[in-house]
Amino acid sequence: MKAFCKPLCAAMVLLSLASTRGSAQQREVNYDESKVPAYTLPALLQTESGQPVTTVAQWEQQRRPELLGLFSSHMYGRTPTDPIAVSYEVLTENPRALGGKATSRQVKLLFSNGTKTLEALLLVYLPNGVKKAPMFVGYNFKGNHSTTLDTTILYSRNFMLVREQGHPDWERGCQATRWSYDDIIDRGYGIATMCYHDIFPDQPGRKDHSIVSLFPGYGAGHEAPDAWQAIGAWAWGSSRIVDYLVTDPRVDTARIAIMGHSRQGKAALWAGAQDTRFKIVISNDSGEGGAALSRRKYGETLAIVSSIQPAWFCPAFDAYHGREEDLPFDQHQLLALMAPRAVYVASAEDDQWADPKGEYLGAYHAGPAYALYGLRGLPSATPPAIHQPIMHDIGYHIRAGKHDVTRYDWLAFLDFADKHFKATHK
């Protein structure tokens, strides 16, 4: 069996970043565990005034709001609270989807500030024969059409902004292996997915087409240090998906999980931190700015991830390039913000860029917040072996393979959801 964090060639290697990882630049990246600097994590259960946090009341009334404020001010940006009108238009409904096992629905969401309107396209599958289905919510990267071979699935308008006609990403089903629809439906769950470009097109120069452009102050010139960017927008959009789901009597709104992969793993954690309607929060290969500890300085670094354009993080985050130890927080505190709701972190053995060990340790060090509620975190600072998932109130697995979402991942997510939702199977 391969080691958890195998050394790759040398301590420092040059990595050509693929476009799906956010940059075409070459950077020096550390893959040598012996070169990870010593670090001390900021205290999780201690208020900014230095008081120990020993009760749930202290956590919920003092420490948790402090941490939310820190992540808003220094990393993800502040989510606006200004009202944006949202309306829904059901475009198609097919009660015989997936061989008759599911009902599919395509819904246009229209977002308006009174003078400007943007649209997003939501694809929903609900299991037939289940009166109140628990749900997974998650963005796709290449359009709803990429998740299935079904020729009735529509292309979203924003997709043409980021991919020219004829690009391979226009092919139906080009990422269908990332969406285990049959397994999800067979286990009695529904799923709602949307192309993340519909909320914030992930390409430079397209911000006018993002929901950020609907809010007061957009385009006024200088941005505030805590101005939200793409990850904040994607998190906001995930909550708007939930807003639609709560209008459907076939959805069990007490059992909604969010799953995000890679940059959407980062956004899923931020969405889950802010919106407690997500009762399970799942981060898959989220790496730096997601589940991985920033202070470890292994794989992708803060300087690299915060240099991606269009920006994912607020401007204030740039001040910490090469200064991770000066951050007033680290990612274990983000994961702790899910408590007492269940949280699951997934890694891939060959995805050293995302720092699997750092992802595990982020989840492990969130444990004391769960302990306040009498809940179980991860058992040890030593990560588990490949394909040995841990399914406590904080869950984790590392699988063989690369940066991806696989059927193995989905089956683990379903097992975790079964444990915490106690879903009734068909």
- Tell me the per-residue pLDDT of 336-354, one tens digit each, with 9 for 90 and over: 999 999 999 999 999 999 9
Q: Measured in whole angstroms, how far is the alpha carbon of residue 64 from the centre of its chain?
A: 20
pLDDT at 2 over 50: no
Q: Measured in whole angstroms, how far is the alpha carbon of residue 246 from the centre of its chain?
A: 21
Q: What is the number of other CB atoms lying within 10 angstroms of the CB of residue 310?
A: 17
Which two tokens mark 339? Answer: 């408590």
pLDDT computed for residue 422 by the predictor: 80
Q: Is the dihedral of CA 235, 267, 331, 393 positive or negative?
A: positive
Residue 66: partners with Cβ closer than 8 Å, 6 or more residues away = 47, 48
Which two tokens mark 140? Answer: 């796709």
23 is catalytic: no
Q: Which residues pair with 119 in a beta bridge?
A: 110
Which of the two residues, 423 and 285, has the higher pLDDT score? Answer: 285
Query: Tokens 């079964």 identify what position?
Result: 418
Query: Tokens 């969401």 identify what position?
Result: 109
**Which residue in 145, 209, 365, 403 is the catalytic one?**
403
Show me where the domains of the chain are located: 65-421
Q: Please give the average per-residue pLDDT across 198-203, as a whole number.
A: 97
**Which residue in 72, 262, 283, 286 is the catalytic one?**
262
Which two tokens mark 382? Answer: 């030593």
Listing DSSP states for 240-276 in one string gives HHHHHHTT-TTEEEEEEEEEEETHHHHHHHHHHHH-T
The structural architecture, per CATH, of the domain 65-421 is 3-Layer(aba) Sandwich (3.40)
Which two tokens mark 348? Answer: 């891939």
- Inter-residue contact 149 to 173 (CB < 8 Å): yes
Which two tokens mark 258? Answer: 């969010």
- Inter-residue contact 177 to 407 (CB < 8 Å): yes
- Inter-residue contact 328 to 70 (CB < 8 Å): yes
Q: Which residues pair with 344 in a beta bridge?
A: 282, 395
Listing DSSP states for 178-223 in one string gives G--HHHHHHTT-EEEEEEGGGTS-SSTT-GGGSGGGGSTTTTSSSP
Q: Is 216 exposed, middle or buried (0-12, 13-18, 19+ CB in 10 A)?
A: exposed
Q: Please give the average per-residue pLDDT across 362-390, as a whole number.
A: 98
pTM for the complete prediction? 0.93
pLDDT computed for residue 27 by the predictor: 67
- Inter-residue contact 229 to 159 (CB < 8 Å): no
74 is catalytic: no
pLDDT computed for residue 219 by the predictor: 87
- Tell me the per-residue pLDDT of 69-113, one tens digit each, with 9 for 90 and over: 999 999 999 999 999 999 999 999 999 999 999 999 999 999 999
